[in-house]
Amino acid sequence: MTNTPAPKHPVAALAVVTATALALTGCAGQDDGEPGGGVELEMQTNFGATDPSLKVLQKITDAYEKDNPGVSIDLVPSTDTYEADIKVRLASNDIPDIWATHGWSLLRYSPFLEPLNDQPWAKDFNEALAPAMQNEDGEFFALPIDTDVAGIVYNRTVLDDAGIDPAELTDWESFEAALKTLKDAGVTPVSSSGKDSWFAGNIADFIGSGDFSHAELEGFKDGTFDEQGYTRILDHVSTWQQSGWFNPDYSSATTDDLGRALAEGNTGFVFVQNYLVATALGFNPDADLGYMPIPSEDGEPFLVGGEGRAYGVSKTSPDKEQALDYLAYLAEPAHLSELAGAVGGIPGLTNATSDLGVLTASYDAFVKPGELPLRPYFDRVYLPGGIWDTMVTTTDGVITGQMSPEDAVKQMKTSYDSLR
């Protein structure tokens, strides 16, 4: 190992953790694991190559590398198959040193991740994230950059011009009336992406988070797939498709295309987390954007969320100490505040703050009062692991008109039964 200065943010040596599943071997390490030098870390960011948030992360990382000569951190942009890629990496023991856990740090990835509850910054962990990120022993396994609070992103100017108040769109009847109003005004009511196809999955997932009764949700956990209820969700999507309320370029549209359409006032709504706002503002810094609660059948709107952008460290990385040191650097209040602001989220650590910018009005209206329920993402809690891809393809099939809601539901149930 070369003689280089010790990092300015050392972390205490961690207790050796006995693997409970497979004996895993980390990748990308080039030294004996001590912080300091001759180290190259691989970080799977889950940020797209053109995502403005990646530029913020790169700037902070450049400063860390400057303070720690000999340490190189490879920030790998995301692909459209990020979830599948991580699964393959874990199964083949080719594990990144650090990776974005995309909502699954506890339920899916915790056997592969180093517990972080003993880190020096852990005392500032936002307890609102405990149900999603913390196990019964009080352990959590990823640094939460932000607390994910999401709804339906919209262009406020477009809605104002059409006389639509998002606060009044509490049920699907009123929401669909708004979609018709936008269509009549020459604006694409709802935009989604067949190219970055997880956007389609978001629609079913967002709606499903609040459109089932408690008993029905518990049934999903116990092995009963509610075909009637899931058909009801896809019937809405089918209505939007048949009414011409989706963007005509759906099949070819990318994340950037959706951001541009939102920024330029060519669409009203996008079912997506708030990070798309940063993309949109890159096209039009003056765009007036916001997010609204998701309507429901019973007229009781809700928000969805839980673990937002979060990063965990492989428990078997040969450079684990250096990776933890870098994570501690990201956790510093100034850095975490900047990152949380970049993704348009509430910080995941209580000693950080976030300038929500254009989203402040939505936060003040829908989140700050604490009156609306925050539902967990439907697939993360009530559906078996691995079903996300089927949720995406079946919703996509309805949007393109290639599948009926009934056929899509049959495929979902088959996948549900098989994965259980």
**Does residue 5 fall inside a structural domain?**
no
Please report where in the chains the tokens 């477009």 appear, as a residue: 158
Quick one: 86 and 227 in the same domain? no
Quick one: 382 and 324 in the same domain? no
**Does residue 174 fall inside a structural domain?**
yes
Query: What does the pLDDT look like over 356-379, one tens digit per residue?
Result: 899 999 999 998 888 998 898 999
Quick one: 242 and 155 in the same domain? yes
Domain count, the chain: 2
Looking at 243-387, list the stretches that DSSP marks H as alpha helix, in order from N- to C-terminal side. 255-263, 275-283, 320-330, 333-342, 360-362, 378-382
Mean pLDDT estimate for the chain: 90
Quick one: 133 and 154 in the same domain? no
Report the pLDDT averaged over residues 60-70: 97
Query: What does the pLDDT look like over 261-302, one tens digit per residue?
Result: 999 999 999 999 998 999 999 999 999 999 999 999 999 999
**CATH number, residue 97:** 3.40.190.10
Tokens representing residue 181 in the block: 């109003």
Quick one: 94 and 218 in the same domain? no
Please report where in the chains the tokens 């009801």 appear, as a residue: 232
Of the chain, the percentage scoring pLDDT greater than 70 comes to 91
Query: What does the pLDDT look like over 381-417, one tens digit per residue?
Result: 899 988 999 999 999 999 999 999 999 999 999 999 9
**Does residue 9 fall inside a structural domain?**
no
Quick one: 203 and 225 in the same domain? yes
Give the contacts of 165 (CB within 8 A, at least 6 positions apart). 159
Q: Which domain holds residue 215?
A: 149-305+365-419
Confidence of residue 6 (pLDDT cuts 50, 70, 90): very low
**Does residue 16 fall inside a structural domain?**
no
Please report where in the chains the tokens 């056929």 appear, as a residue: 407
**Per-residue confidence (pLDDT) for residue 16, from 0 to 100:** 29
Quick one: 267 and 201 in the same domain? yes
**Does residue 329 fall inside a structural domain?**
yes
**Does residue 33 fall inside a structural domain?**
no
Separation in Å, CA 303 to CA 178, 201, 340: 19, 17, 18
Question: Dihedral (C-alpha) 395, 396, 400, 406: value to the nearest 10 degrees?
Answer: -30
Quick one: 128 and 168 in the same domain? no
Please report where in the chains the tokens 């009156």 appear, as a residue: 371
* 235, pLDDT greater than 90: yes
**Does residue 357 fall inside a structural domain?**
no
Give the contacts of 396 (CB within 8 A, at least 6 positions apart). 194, 197, 200, 201
Quick one: 108 and 192 in the same domain? no
**Does residue 78 fall inside a structural domain?**
yes
Helix then strand count (H, E) for the chain reads 16, 12
Instruction: Report yes or no on whether pTM surpasses 0.85.
Output: no
